[in-house]
Chains A and B, each alone.
Chain A
Amino acid sequence: MTSSAPALAKGEAKSELNDSLDTGAKKVFCVPEHTVEIIANSGEGAQKCGQIFGSVSAKMGNGVWTVEIIPAEIEPPPRHVTSTSGNLIRFGTEQITNWGDRTKLAVAFNEQVLLSRHRLDSLDDECIILVEDMWENHDDENIRKEWATAMEEMSSANYRIVKVPIEEESLKIVDNPHHGKNMFALGMLAEVYQRDLDLIKKQIANIFRRKPAKVTELNIALVELGIQWARENLDFQFDVPAKVHEEARVVMNGNQATALGAIAAGMEFCAMYPITPATSVSHELCDIIESYGGMVHQAEDEIAAAGVAIGASYAGKVALTVTSGPGMALKTEFMALAVMTEMPLVLVDVQRGGPSTGLPTKVEQSDLLAALYGQHGDAPRVVMAPATIEDCFQSMITARRIAETFRTLVIVLTDANLATGVQQFPRPQLDERWQEAPLDLSAVPEGTLPYDWDHSTGLSRRIIPGQANGQYTVTGLAHDEFSKVSYEPESNELGCNMRSRKLAVFQSTLKPPTVVGDEEGDLLIVGWGSTRGAIEEAVGRARADKLKVSSCHLTFMSPLEPGLKEIFSRFKRVMTVEINYSDRLGDPYITAENRRLGQMCWLLRAHTLVDIDCWTRVPGQPLRPGDIHNAIVSHLENGAAS
């Protein structure tokens, strides 16, 4: 199954592609989309290569979705299956909404990182693989053995393996191959996919703009060498046509979108503590927020970050705190205080795999119930989940508005998939009104109550220090309209009632969610958060096969959007698709009664009394549309997804 470079693999050719590769003639395949990944030891720059490739593709007008492949450690041992670091880029003519199914072309700096991807079933059975050839005949016998064993293990697939002297070539330009192979690889990919070299050069120049000009020159020389090598040695190219977009567009990842959204929303204060995968939101903010008159405060711990944000909000600022699951767990007492004191606060939880330290760099949607119910006592709050990178931006504007209008805690649940996924979207139109301060310091009329609840809506006026006549003491204790500590039964009932009523009032402003596909049918798939693209792609495939499937994606989890029960009633079955744990029917001891369900599934069952099923997985990676499609087919055939 392998062949030496430059000739391409000769194997059991099954596809047109494979046939043509055997002919030796340069052939250009026009495809609507392709998925490429570049993988290496951590520290070899594969991510940078992938980021540039993805960004250039987006700038050329392709729809793009990229996923970071990251080990948990900063510098894990080289040439090891646990050290795989890199980037996966799915790009196409149309908008790409998820990472798709499997990789069609991979560049690997060694066979071990390749093997890790093989074991994860990440590579298409007929994936073209451009792999560093120096290990096959390496001086070290162990390495030679590792190569042979890995190749043997991978021989079960029909990969087309092309061995490339990546390091040998790179050494023509640089002394240290660890700083250069990635650019050579980028050059190969640029040739294979006919990427715009000028855009690549600009991107490189931008990345190394703070370094001596020589660095940019060397990197570009490596790219050009990669292009030349691919031109002379590879006999295939792919054409993924790009579309010309009339409107201006931007390309960024979800954490960047969240950070820019926060600034566009007028958020002037972010308190945080470092935690993966949320930290890069604050990196973005730290970089620029001071020039907007705001600041990021890195607190001594997660708890303090929440407290400082609440203090800032109390002082009249638009405050934000950003964290991930374990951090949100630490903040819970303060979150309940924000609810009790009706302090506007936006908390972004970039979800990762749990419980405990779990999978710090990997995606999961397991914080939903914690976000909804993770407080002591009854602590109603708004919980929402962006589904796309663009949503990450817009959510921040929405979240601020809700937090202030309803004097409430708003939790925005993004996840590791959105955090690092890169996508292009229409350049947001900004509004100066978003920058307005919540309040000025005008005196309030004498006798103004700090909780002058409108008894029908629960809404009340916010007062901040500096406003004369407004002096009151906020307390986390049960309190009356005067913010006086009160243990009276009626007073506590009223406070609980008012805090809860606000959610119902907010819900009355929401529209029922859109059903994608027919308004009725055999199966409705319900999702939330970052799975939207994969779910809709899977449902689209099922519908193309004439299956009566539709989908519906929820943005708000608390309060839930209205009309769900009515929508569900139009489908014979309803099933959630989520990246969190659920027991599988058929497993030992698992019965329909004791089965633990996906988190949204629990919520919707309780809310609608509809017998909703779920199909959930916790692979530490985004769901694939192909797997969701299989679950849909299986559910329709068996009455349950397997």
Chain B
Amino acid sequence: MSVSMPSFLNCISDDDFAHYEVDDYQKCVAKWCSGCGDFGALNATKRLLAKEQLQPENTVFVSGIGCSSRFPHYVNSYGFHGIHGRALPIATGVKLTRPELDVFVVMGDGDCCSIGTAHWIHAIRYNMDMTVLLLDNNIYGLTKKQTSPTTPIGFSTNTMPRGSYLPPLNPLTATLGVSNASFVAQTADWIPAHMYATLQAAYEHKGFSFVRILQRCPKFTPDVFTDAVKNPDNNELLVHENGIDAPGLEKLFKNRIIHDPKDLDGGRHYAEVENRVRLGLFYRNGELPCYEDTREVVSVTAAEKIQKINTEFDRYAV
């Protein structure tokens, strides 16, 4: 690699030891609709960045296209607001060649689960060390209310005015079904403490940390989660000593399932949709190889490269 660790260390400056407050991670004012669930995710993320004291210049947010994909514009870090469905390939290129960077990926449900499905499935397999947020509002918001893969069946939209024809895709079971899945969690915009704890656990996990964030679109799907929002009893938290730790929730959220995140079968079982919204850590395996480690490159000087190419030419010499 041309950018080797020694040259990186050479350019450490005083700034690298600066202290960052939450607001230091704010770039410009977010322009989402008032009441949008994206704000909650942004706030929780900025808290996480401050807690971890991530250096803005060594942090990269990559997104696709959609309301939630404006995310990188609102974070003081490097950002790549890509094209629809393709956040993961871009993030793969970044992480694979610069594994020392902290990479976050932000996608919406159309982005990840429809146009970008191929990349999602394969990114799970690559299991690169990145934090991946699926901001799932069950609808295409930016293009104004078209059916997404996670739209509830029967839900009326501009493309399916007589109701969505198909049962929704379950991003959790889909992710848990792919080889090398290493971290799968679900949280919701109506429980900020849980969301923050979930992001924290996702960041700490080494591997592809997939977090589905259930959130409301105030314009087009304000009521899809109303039952769970209005009545804590319609939520069910997966808890475990090795699970996601969100103190203070036990009083309000009484439905708790003790689930060891090592238990893949159990995780798949609980990921199936039932009457209550299940939140928490479905599966975590920190032992799976990360693609960027598997593909780690050696450092070779220019002079060595020239010598090698000349040796290569000898094979083709006339």
Which residues on A are within 8 Å of B, measured CB to CB?
58-59, 61, 245, 248-252, 256, 260, 263-264, 266, 268-269, 271, 288, 290-295, 297, 299-301, 303-319, 333-334, 337, 424, 427-428, 430, 432-433, 435-438, 440-443, 465-477, 484-485
Contact = CB atoms under 8 A, between A and B. Distances in A.
A59 B316 CA distance: 9
Contact of A476 (B55, B81, B88, B100): B81
A308 B2 CA distance: 18
A309 B89 CA distance: 8
Contact of A312 (B73, B88, B93, B100): B93
A435 B81 contact: no
A334 B317 CA distance: 39
A249 B318 contact: yes
B312 A245 contact: no
Interface stretch (B8-16, B210-218, B234-242): B8-16
A93 B104 CA distance: 61
Interface in B283-318: 295, 297-300, 302-303, 305-306, 308-310, 312-313, 316-318
Given A293-B297, A293-B298, A471 B77 contact: yes
Interface string B200-219: 00000000000000000000
A432 B83 contact: no
A307 B82 contact: yes
Interface of B: 1-3, 7-8, 11, 13, 15-16, 27-28, 55-58, 60-62, 65, 72-73, 76-83, 86, 88-94, 96-98, 100-101, 118-119, 121-122, 295, 297-300, 302-303, 305-306, 308-310, 312-313, 316-318
A304 B122 contact: yes
A382 B308 CA distance: 30
Given A307-B90, A310-B90, A440 B318 contact: no
Given A304-B119, A473-B27, A311 B90 contact: yes
Contacts of B60: 315, 465
Contact of A473 (B13, B72, B86): B72
B96 A475 contact: no
B90 A293 contact: no
A297 B97 CA distance: 11
Nearest to B296: A295
B140 to A, nearest CB: 17
Given A250-B313, A295-B96, A441-B7, A475 B297 contact: no
Contact of A288 (B16, B65, B83, B312): B312
A430 B119 contact: no
B57 A317 contact: no
A307 B89 contact: yes
Contact of B78 (A256, A310, A471): A471
The winner among A58, A436, A438, A475 for most chain B CB atoms within 10 A is A475
7 contacts: A297-B93, A303-B89, A317-B2, A435-B305, A438-B2, A465-B94, A466-B8
A306 B77 CA distance: 24
Contacts of A315: 60, 93-94, 97-98, 101
B96 A297 contact: yes
